[in-house]
Amino acid sequence: MCTGACSKFIAIPLYVMALVSIICNIMLFFPDFSTEYAGEEGQITVEALYMAGLIGGGIMVLIPAIHIHLTSAKNCCANRCGMFLSIGFGAVGVVGAVYSLSVAALGLANGPTCFWSNIDNPIPRWGTPFANSNGSYLSDKELWSWCKAPENVVEFNLGLFSTLLVAACVELALCLIQMVNGLFGCICGTCGKE
């Protein structure tokens, strides 16, 4: 496979993963699909406020995806210079994917912000009840009942942060592959004329 065709093969999944990351990050602001909690301070999971899916896995991957896609187009960036630039753009994508991956892993480890109470803390309050659990709440569904509101917030955050984590891993792998592909394209050319 020539380096130009490989760039096109890499760019299309990057578009999809960037879109998935952006949607997941936006949805994290609306736990239980409700706008009730979005306007209140301290009622949204802190890791959602870091905007890793929007900025890191979204914009910082979308911009390289556009350039990487252009390296597969004829008469545009399908030359050695374009492939050289795709190495730098791929590096930007790697940084964005690592940021998104880190925040998603942190979001999974800390758990959601919710209105919670348990036997040790009988007075309900807003907070992050699983923050010091080292992620052990993930395997113990009985602890999920601590969160009283928003309803099903643990499952909601678990699904979205897991999706962000997987998307970031795919983005990281594709951007690293493009950096290697860009190096070969810079040295050998893009095969665009053949």
Assess if residue 150 is contained within a domain.
yes
The band of 189, judged by pLDDT with boundaries at 50, 70 and 90, is: low
Assess if residue 141 is contained within a domain.
yes
Domains contained in the chain, number: 1
Quick check: 193 pLDDT over 60? no
Would you state the torsion angle of the CA atoms of residues 161, 99, 17, 62, taken in this order, to the nearest 10 degrees? 140
Residue type, 51: M
Could you tell me the pTM of the whole model?
Answer: 0.86
Identify the pLDDT of residue 26: 92
Instruction: Say if residues 82 and 190 touch (Cβ distance below 8 Å).
Output: yes
Assess if residue 193 is contained within a domain.
no
Burial of 42 (C-beta count, 10 Å sphere; 0-12/13-18/19+): exposed
**Residue-wise pLDDT tens digits, 14-52:** 999 999 999 999 999 988 777 777 766 777 888 888 999
Identify the pLDDT of residue 58: 92
Burial of 41 (C-beta count, 10 Å sphere; 0-12/13-18/19+): exposed
Assess if residue 130 is contained within a domain.
yes
Assess if residue 194 is contained within a domain.
no
Q: Which residues of 65-168 form beta strands (DSSP E)?
A: 114-116, 125-127, 147-149
Assess if residue 80 is contained within a domain.
yes
Query: Where in the sequence is the domain holding 110, given as residue range(s)?
Result: 3-188
Instruction: Say if residues 169 and 5 touch (Cβ distance below 8 Å).
Output: no
The band of 115, judged by pLDDT with boundaries at 50, 70 and 90, is: confident
Vertex 45: Cα angle to 43 and 50 (nearest 5): 125
Assess if residue 151 is contained within a domain.
yes
**Residue-wise pLDDT tens digits, 118-163:** 878 788 888 888 887 776 788 888 888 888 888 888 899 999 999 9
Identify the pLDDT of residue 194: 46
Rounded CA separation 75/143 (Å): 58
**Residue-wise pLDDT tens digits, 155-184:** 999 999 999 999 999 999 999 988 888 787
Rounded CA separation 185/114 (Å): 50
**Residue-wise pLDDT tens digits, 43-90:** 788 888 899 999 999 999 998 888 877 776 665 555 667 777 878 888
